[in-house]
Chains A and B, each alone.
Chain A
Amino acid sequence: MTEPILELRGVNKSFGVVHVLHDVDFQVYPGEVTALVGDNGAGKSTLVKAIAGIHPIDSGSYLFEGTPVTVNGPNDVAALGIEVVYQDLALCDNLDIVENMFLGREVRKRGMLDEAKMETLARQALASLSVRTVKSVRQTVASLSGGQRQTVAIAKSVLWNSKVVLLDEPTAALGVAQTRQVIDLVRRLADQGLGVVLISHNMADVFEVADRICALYLGRVAAEVRASEVTHGQVVELITAGRSGNLGLAPTQAAQSM
């Protein structure tokens, strides 16, 4: 088996007295889609934000391409080649598509913004995703639909030729056709050799595109399995009860987490 490109070992994270992540081990492999599933409050978003460098981890190690790294903020993570596409998309409504795609990493020429280069690169990245719905790369994000915003947010990660992309509920607010597009896009990102993490509640999406599934249950990793080796039912049990047959947390541990 190949080396994981991104690996978390024994990660703990608390907010005050609330212990959100318990000794979480998590791996992302290049060229594979790892689905991160779990019920509301299981710690999915916290885990993503810990990976993204937004929440510093309390203990545990963060390895990228096999070497431990210290992460002190979103910039460090972006520098490693990890992109996060958030559920609430994190786009600035008052800026246009190009400005949003390069936000925080503007291309500069002699100290000035190189608008020409940024616009060209943004156009190419969008073209690579066969975006057909966006009228102009210079329209403000406020005028885009939910699906278009999602595309812009994902295109942003493509633009940076990232090594790992985390997608937090990318299809939650989308219609059927747009969900289809995003799922195809997720597959394509993995086929290009990226490590993709897909956080989703939608089992159909998960089973369609994921190679591996990591189920979180109340802040612990209940199981990490290959998608081809489990059924819908088993995954749902892992999400809701923390265990399924001989998979998952030991009964005592599952009960303890309650």
Chain B
Amino acid sequence: MNADKSVHIDAKGGDMTTFKSDLAESDFAIDAQSDATFADAVRGYIRRVRGGDMGSLPAILGLLVLFVVFGFANERFLSALNLANLVTQAGSICVLAMGLVFVLLLGDIDLSAGVAGGVAACVMALTVVNFQWPWWAAILAGVACGALIGLAIGVLRSRLGIPSFVVTLAFFLGLQGVTLKLIGEGGSVRVDNPVIRGLTIDNLPVTAGWVCALLVAVAFGALEVYRYRTKVTQGLHHPPLGVVAARIGAVAVVALGVTYVLSLNRSVNPNIAIRGIPYVLPLVAVLLIVLTFVLTRTAYGRHVYAVGGNAEAARRAGIRVDRIRVSVFVVCSTLAALSGIIAASYGGKVSASSGAGNTLLYAVGAAVIGGTSLFGGKGRAVDAVVGGVVVATIANGLGLLNQSSYINFLVTGGVLLLAASVDAVSRRRRSATGLS
């Protein structure tokens, strides 16, 4: 349907020129560049931050502070072994947080995402252990289970109009019952399938890791340069070259830096070497790329933002708001299922409490700390990953410091509250300064 519409537009594209000819150029016609130079861009960025449009800046600053604090507090924190641990710990949080970003973009919430992951992990574990399914079929079953849960939540939310808070709270309770029933009270299922287990405990060969990292850096750079050149030649709005270069540099430094740290030998036993990127990292990276592509380069992603920004405007523009709403819950629960499977792979077992406790709190915290707004319409997949690393760092660092678990709860709760306050305050500032 939409395909023939775009053809329709193309046909009309020719007529558009009639408008151009009879008018002098207006002010914005020279608006090819938002900021003339790199320095202007920096100034513009500072202005935006002051105006409340901070993006993931607080998260990145927070991450630096956390690394410094934990690095001084415990010498093991910055060891290659612990950093690799941190990556695998962050994996499931990041994936769950990326799913939640979709729901949060619509201004909704999914409180059941954590336990949906628990149910999916449970289905995966039972099919692979009790029914001897191959690993891929078991994972597929778990993920399909997640998608079904999301579909149910989405339909209840959009068709019956029950507030998402209540629907998902009900699922939060109900799904814990499902996990209990599936697994038997108090018990747990060991996951020892080598592939599923290997997702978090095995590593890419070092050379393969470097090749992947280089590929990511080069591909990102090439894409950015290509897009910059297209925009310049077509006279479109584009950032200054310096900003493009800085972006490419940042991605290259992160990709290669992480690869370097993970390629160090981190074994405590001098007789064997452990080195290489845990498989979960490329999985998260692929998800990040795919979800970023979906959110920013497809009409579907655009519609998700539109519904989150102004559902009524989206409806009048002909967007099926109901479908978008159902779809984000499906995406969220599907990713939650993946996250639950990653967590099961990391823990080596699925228990009745999988996905319960503070799993969801961590993920919501990760999304919000990363800069996703709880009020909808604002957020990116990469925010979830940055926030996920922050949350994992807090959990990991506090764990190393051997704090009692009450401290852990207090700190994580406090950080979530802080992130939500930053979100609420910056939203007020944004509306006052007219940034969005």
Q: Determine how close the nearest CB of chain A comes to the CB of B240; give it in whole angstroms.
A: 14
Q: Which residues of B contact A103 (CB under 8 A)?
A: 302, 306, 313-314, 317, 319
Please indicate which of the listed interface residues A75, A104, A125, A138 has the most CB atoms of chain B within 10 Å of its own CB.
A104
Q: Determine how close the nearest CB of chain A comes to the CB of B247; give it in whole angstroms.
A: 17
Say yes or no: B34 contacts A116, CB within 8 Å.
no
Say yes or no: A123 contacts B29, CB within 8 Å.
yes
Please, how many angstroms separate the alpha-carbon atoms of A108 and B10 in the complex? 10
Partner of B318, one of A91, A104, A113: A104
Encode contact with B along A142-155: 1 for CB under 8 Å, 0 otherwise: 11100000000000
Q: Which B-chain residue is minimally distant from A145 (CB atoms)?
A: B434
Partner of A160, one of B12, B29, B230, B435: B12
* B contact patch SS: helix
Please, how many angstroms separate the alpha-carbon atoms of A61 and B62 in the complex? 62
Which one of B16-24, B345-353, B383-391, B399-407 contacts A?
B16-24
Chain B residues 247-266 with CB under 8 Å of chain A are none
Please, how many angstroms separate the alpha-carbon atoms of A108 and B8 in the complex? 12
Given A92-B306, A113-B297, A125-B16 in contact, is the A120-B317 Cβ separation under 8 Å? no
Which one of A2-10, A30-38, A93-101 contacts B?
A93-101
Q: Which residues of B contact A106 (CB under 8 A)?
A: 2, 6, 299, 302
Please, how many angstroms separate the alpha-carbon atoms of A32 and B84 in the complex? 71
Which one of B189-197, B231-239, B282-290 contacts A?
B231-239
B421 in contact (CB, < 8 A): no
Say yes or no: B6 contacts A132, CB within 8 Å.
no
Q: Which residues of A contact B10 (CB under 8 A)?
A: 107
Q: Determine how close the nearest CB of chain A comes to the CB of B415; give it in whole angstroms.
A: 25
Q: Which A-chain residue is minimally distant from B315 (CB atoms)?
A: A74
Say yes or no: B28 contacts A123, CB within 8 Å.
yes
Q: Which residues of A contact B435 (CB under 8 A)?
A: 140, 142-143
B357 in contact (CB, < 8 A): no
Q: Which residues of A contact B297 (CB under 8 A)?
A: 112-113
B203 in contact (CB, < 8 A): no
B5 in contact (CB, < 8 A): yes
Say yes or no: B436 contacts A141, CB within 8 Å.
yes
Please, how many angstroms separate the alpha-carbon atoms of A108 and B301 in the complex? 13
Q: Determine how close the nearest CB of chain B comes to the CB of A112; give it in whole angstroms.
A: 5
Q: Which residues of B contact A128 (CB under 8 A)?
A: 18-20, 22-23
Partner of B9, one of A95, A105, A136: A105
Chain B residues 199-249 with CB under 8 Å of chain A are 230-231, 234, 236-237
A63 in contact (CB, < 8 A): no
Q: Which B-chain residue is minimally distant from A88 (CB atoms)?
A: B312
Given A130-B23, A140-B435, A142-B436 in contact, is the A95-B306 Cβ separation under 8 Å? yes
Partner of A121, one of B13, B25, B231: B13
Q: Which residues of B contact A99 (CB under 8 A)?
A: 302, 305-306
Q: Which residues of A contact B12 (CB under 8 A)?
A: 160-161
Q: Which B-chain residue is minimally distant from A139 (CB atoms)?
A: B34
Given A103-B306, A111-B298, A137-B237 in contact, is the A125-B23 Cβ separation under 8 Å? no
Q: Which A-chain residue is minimally distant from B51 (CB atoms)?
A: A143
Say yes or no: B299 contacts A108, CB within 8 Å.
yes
> What would 15 A/B residue contacts be, using CB atoms closer than 8 Å?
A86-B316, A92-B309, A95-B306, A104-B318, A111-B298, A113-B297, A113-B299, A116-B230, A131-B26, A132-B26, A136-B34, A137-B28, A137-B31, A142-B431, A160-B9
- Assuming A107-B10, A126-B28, what are 13 further A-B pairs, CB within 8 angstroms? A94-B436, A95-B302, A104-B319, A105-B318, A106-B302, A112-B298, A116-B234, A117-B13, A124-B16, A124-B19, A131-B26, A132-B26, A141-B436
